[in-house]
Structure formats: C-alpha cells, structure tokens
C-alpha cells in the first residue's frame, strides 16, 4: 500500500511513468483529426482555419459548437464557424470549419519539459489543474460536448 502523501521521488517516478506511457503515434493520430491552415491578411493579421476530418470525428457539428463555446480558459478568439454538408448554403466547401485567431507559441515538448526545473514544472501543472477544475464544473449533455451558452 502506498504512503500518502507521496514523496518527491514517488511523484517524479509517477510523472516519468505517465510520460513514458504516452504513445506518440496515438498523439499524432489524434492531432491529425483536424486540418489547420494559417492565413495572413494584407494587414499582417494571422488567422487559423481548422477543418475537422470526417472519418476521424463523429458528431462534427456538436464538436465544433463545443469548441466555440466560451470558458475563461485562455483560448483563441473564434471569428467564424460553420457546419458542413448541404445544410449551410453559404459554405461551398461542404466541411464544418472554425476560423480563429492565431496565437503564437510553441507546442509542449515532453522531453524538454521533463528537463525543466521543478519550479517551472510545478507552475505548469498548477495552471493545468486550474483548467481541469474549471472544466470539471461544467455539465455536459454527453461526452465530448460543452454545454450551449
């Protein structure tokens, strides 16, 4: 039986085991479920257009609406979104889409993150816990869909 609270060594070992258990191929498959393109206006404004890929996502319109719903978690501003298929005559592509603000930054590099000092990792995890706590307070009609606002 494990002791509570865990020691710093136990926490570090648990984190390492969790990170080592991540399947990079599964992450890539999940990440490739949406096509993203970055466009730049003549004034220099960058936009991200995201198009969910039909075979990989069920209930696409529910997912698009879910992502568009607001939280206080920092997310890009949504400027437009639409449903695909013949339902929306203004959308000639036939695909659901989201056009959102471009937010500069870099993706989390798990290996580099593991080399960060404990204070930096603790700060990251505290922010992540705050986000999860906020999401936990939401009531969803079914898994994967945020409530309408």
126, 66: one domain: no
* Separation CA 82–CA 97 (nearest Å): 5
Place of tokens 């798990």: 110
Q: What is the pLDDT of residue 86?
A: 63
Q: What is the pLDDT of residue 119?
A: 92
* Separation CA 7–CA 3 (nearest Å): 8
36, 100: one domain: yes
For residue 11, tell me if it sits in a domain.
no
Give the total number of structural domains in the chain: 2
Q: 32 φ, ψ to 5°?
A: -90, 10
Q: What is the pLDDT of residue 15?
A: 81
89, 112: one domain: no
Q: What is the pLDDT of residue 39?
A: 83
41, 99: one domain: yes
89, 117: one domain: no
* Separation CA 51–CA 95 (nearest Å): 7
Q: What is the pLDDT of residue 131?
A: 79
What tens-digit pLDDT sequence spans the chain (149 residues)? 567 777 888 888 888 887 888 777 776 665 556 677 788 888 988 887 877 777 666 777 877 777 777 556 767 788 888 877 666 677 777 788 888 888 877 788 888 888 999 999 888 888 888 878 777 766 655 555 555 54
The residues near 62 (Cβ < 8 Å, ≥ 6 apart) are: 144, 145
94, 55: one domain: yes
For residue 12, tell me if it sits in a domain.
no
* Separation CA 96–CA 102 (nearest Å): 19
Range of the domain at 132: 106-138
For residue 27, tell me if it sits in a domain.
no
């Amino acid at each position: 039986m494990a002791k509570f609270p865990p020691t710093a060594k136990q926490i570090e070992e648990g984190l390492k085991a969790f990170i080592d258990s991540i399947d990079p191929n599964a992450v890539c498959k999940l990440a490739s479920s949406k096509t993203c393109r970055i466009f730049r206006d003549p004034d220099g404004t960058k936009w991200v257009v995201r198009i969910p890929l039909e075979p990989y996502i069920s209930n696409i319109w529910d997912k698009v609406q879910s992502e568009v719903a607001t939280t206080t978690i920092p997310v890009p501003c949504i400027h437009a979104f639409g449903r695909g298929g013949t339902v929306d005559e203004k959308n000639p592509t036939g695909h659901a889409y989201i056009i959102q603000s471009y937010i500069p930054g870099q993706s989390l590099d798990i290996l580099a993150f593991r080399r960060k000092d404990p204070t930096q990792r603790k700060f990251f995890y505290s922010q992540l816990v705050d986000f999860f706590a906020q999401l936990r307070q939401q009531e969803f009609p079914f898994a994967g869909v945020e409530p309408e606002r």
